[in-house]
Amino acid sequence: MHLEYFLLLAAALFCIGIYGLVTSRNAVRVLMSIELLLNSVNLNLMAFSNYLDPQGIKGQVFSVFVITIAAAESAVGLAIILSIYRNRDTVDMEQFNLLKW
């Protein structure tokens, strides 16, 4: 078990998250992809704290903060989605292109 494997896994998860973030049509699914991204970041943080900083484990403290902020962020995100849904009756990302050229 090396650090690289964790990092690669986290990178893969990040890429999956990016893919989902860019391609999903459902806004909730976009939020879910963001959660995937954040989780991949957490994985990174945990791996680094384990392998590089076993004494201080500052990475774990970072992760706790990230999880907390992620919860708050998805709460706000869902609220935004709800308010858009109330106005436009849809959560399709392709309908939200009013601010173009």
Q: Tell me: does residue 99 bind another protein (CB under 8 A).
A: yes
Beta bridge partners of residue 92, listed in sequence order: 26
Crossing angle of the two packed helices 3-23 and 27-51, in degrees rounded to 10: 170
Return the residue of 11, 22, 64, 78 that touches another protein, per CB under 8 A: 22
Q: Binding marks (x or -) toward another protein, 37..76, rule CB under 8 A?
A: ----------------------------------------
CB burial class (10 A; 0-12, 13-18, 19+) of residue 63?
A: buried
Residue among 2 and 101 whose Cβ is closer to another protein? 101
**Least gap, CB of 13 to another protein (angstroms):** 14
Residue with tokens 């690289």: 4
Of positions 16, 24, 77, 81, contacts another protein by CB under 8 A: 24
Q: What b-and-e string marks burial along 13-51, b requiring 16 or more CB atoms within 10 Å of the CB?
A: bbeebeebbeeeeebeebbebbbbbbbbbbbbbbbbbee
State the number of binding residues for another protein (CB under 8 A).
14
Q: Which residues bind another protein (CB under 8 A)?
A: 18, 21-24, 30, 93-94, 96-101
